[in-house]
Chain A
Amino acid sequence: MAAQVSTELEITEDRFWVYRRKLRDFWKLYRRSVLGRIGLVIVLSFVTVAIAAPWIAPYDPFAFVGDPFLKPSPSHILGTDQVGRDIFSRVIYGTRISLLVGLVASAMTIGLGTVIGLVSGYLGGSVDNLLMRVTDLFIILPALPLMLIMASILGKGIINIIIVISVIGWTATARMVRSQTLSLKERPFTEASRAIGSTDLHTIGRHIVPNVFPLVFANGMIAIVDAVLSEAGLSFLGFGDPSSPSWGMVLYFADRAGATVNGYWWYIVPPGLCIMFLVMGFAFISYSTDQILNPRLRRR
Chain B
Amino acid sequence: MRDYLVKRGVSALITLALALVLNFFLFRIMPGDPTRTVVGDFRVTPEIKQALVHQFGLDQPLWVQFVLYLQNLFVGNLGVSFQYRGTPVTSIIFGRRLFNTFILMGSSMGVALIIGVIIGTIAAWKRESKFDIGAVVFSLVTYSMPVFWLGMMIILVFGYYLDWIPIAGTITVGMTYSNVFEYAADYLYHMTGPFVTLTLSFLGFYFLIMRDSILDVFTEDYMLTAKAKGLSDRKILFRHAMRNAMLPMVSLLAVEVTYLFGGATMTETVFSWYGIGRLIYEAVVMADYPVLQGIFVVMSVLVITANFCADIVYAFLDPRIRY
Q: Are A149 and B26 in contact (CB under 8 A)?
A: yes
Q: Is the CB of B141 within 8 A of A276?
A: yes
Let me know if A17 is at the binding interface, CB within 8 A: no
| Cβ of A263 to closest chain B Cβ, rounded Å | 5
Counting CB contacts under 8 A, is B156 at the interface? Answer: yes
Taken together as a complex, chains A and B put the C-alpha atoms of A284 and B27 apart, in Å, by 39
| Residues of A close to B303: CB separation below 8 A | 140-142
- In Å, the complex CA distance between A263 and B254 comes to 39
B224 to chain A, nearest CB (A): 14
> For residue A36, which residues in chain B have a CB less than 8 angstroms away from its CB?
none
> Is there contact, CB below 8 Å, between B144 and A153?
no
Given known A-B contacts A229-B146, A272-B145, A283-B144, A263 and B287 have beta carbons under 8 A apart:
no
Residues in B whose Cβ lies below 8 Å from that of A232:
146, 148-149
A 136-152 binary contact with B (CB < 8 Å = 1; else 0): 11011110111011111
Q: Does A279 make an interface contact (CB < 8 A)? A: yes
Q: Which residues of B contact A134 (CB under 8 A)?
A: 18
Within 8 A of B (CB), among A227-244: 229, 232-233, 236-238
- Residues in A with CB closer than 8 Å to B152 are 251, 254-255, 259-260, 268, 272
Known: A236-B146, A255-B152, A275-B149. A280 touches B141 (CB 8 A): yes
Q: Do B153 and A269 touch (CB < 8 A)?
A: yes
Quick check: A137 and B296 within 8 Å, CB to CB?
no
The yes or no answer to A265 lying at the interface (CB within 8 A) is: yes
Q: How far is the CA of A93 from the CA of B149 in the complex (A)?
A: 19
Q: Does B290 contact A (CB under 8 A)?
A: no
Contact B266 A152 (CB under 8 A): no
- Whether B228 is near chain A, meaning CB under 8 Å from some CB there, is no
CB-based nearest B residue for A264: B156
| Contact residues, B252-272 vs A (CB, 8 A) | 254-255, 258-259, 262, 265-266, 269-270
**Once the chains are docked, how many angstroms separate the CA of A153 from the CA of B285?**
11
Chain A CB within 10 A, most for which of B149, B262, B277: B149
Which of A134, A149, A225 has the most CB atoms of chain B within a 10 A radius of its CB?
A149
Give Cα A139 to B143, complex, Å: 19
Decide if A145 touches B265 in the complex (CB within 8 Å): yes
User: Which one of A140, A225, A272, A280 lies within 8 Å of B149 (CB-CB)?
Assistant: A272
**In the complex the two chains form, what is the Cα distance from A129 to B167 in whole Å?**
49
Chain A minimum-CB-distance residue to B23: A149
Q: How far is the CA of A260 from the CA of B79 in the complex (A)?
A: 38
- List the A side residues contacting B27 at CB < 8 Å: 153
Q: Does chain A have a CB within 8 A of B19?
A: yes
B51 at the interface (CB under 8 A from A): no
Q: Is B249 an interface residue (CB 8 A)?
A: no
Q: Are A140 and B255 in contact (CB under 8 A)?
A: yes
Residues of A104-130 at the interface with B, using a CB-CB cut-off of 8 Å, are none
Contact A144–B266 (Cβ < 8 Å): yes
| Given A237-B269, A251-B148, A283-B140, A272-B18 contact (CB < 8 Å) | no
Contact of B156 with A263 in the complex, beta carbons under 8 Å: yes
* Count of chain A residues with a beta carbon within 8 Å of a chain B beta carbon: 46
1/0 contact trace for B284-323 toward A, CB 8 Å?
Answer: 1101000010011001100110010000000000000000
Q: How far is the CA of A263 from the CA of B147 in the complex (A)?
A: 19
Asked if B155 contacts A272 (CB within 8 A), the reply is no
Across-interface contacts of A133 in B (CB, < 8 A) = 11, 14-15, 18
Chain B residues within an 8 Å CB radius of A237: 265-266, 269, 281, 284
CA distance A191 to B27 in the complex (A): 45
**Contact residues in B for A233 (Cβ distance below 8 Å):** 146-148, 266
A195 contacts the other chain (Cβ, under 8 Å)? no
Chain B residues with Cβ below 8 Å from A269 are 153
Q: A260 to B269, alpha carbons, bound, how many Å?
A: 14
Q: How far is the CB of B141 from chain A (nearest CB, A)?
A: 7
- Top-10 shortest CB links A-B: A272-B149, A279-B144, A152-B284, A280-B144, A142-B258, A260-B155, A142-B262, A140-B303, A276-B144, A232-B146
Interface contacts beyond A133-B18, A279-B143, A300-B218: sample of 9 additional A-B pairs, CB < 8 Å, sorted by A: A133-B11, A140-B303, A145-B262, A145-B265, A232-B148, A237-B266, A255-B152, A263-B160, A283-B143
Q: What are 24 sample pairs from A and B whose C-beta atoms fall under 8 A apart?
A: A133-B18, A136-B15, A137-B15, A140-B15, A140-B258, A142-B299, A146-B296, A149-B280, A149-B292, A149-B296, A150-B26, A153-B27, A232-B149, A236-B148, A251-B148, A261-B167, A265-B156, A268-B153, A269-B153, A272-B146, A272-B152, A276-B149, A277-B144, A279-B144
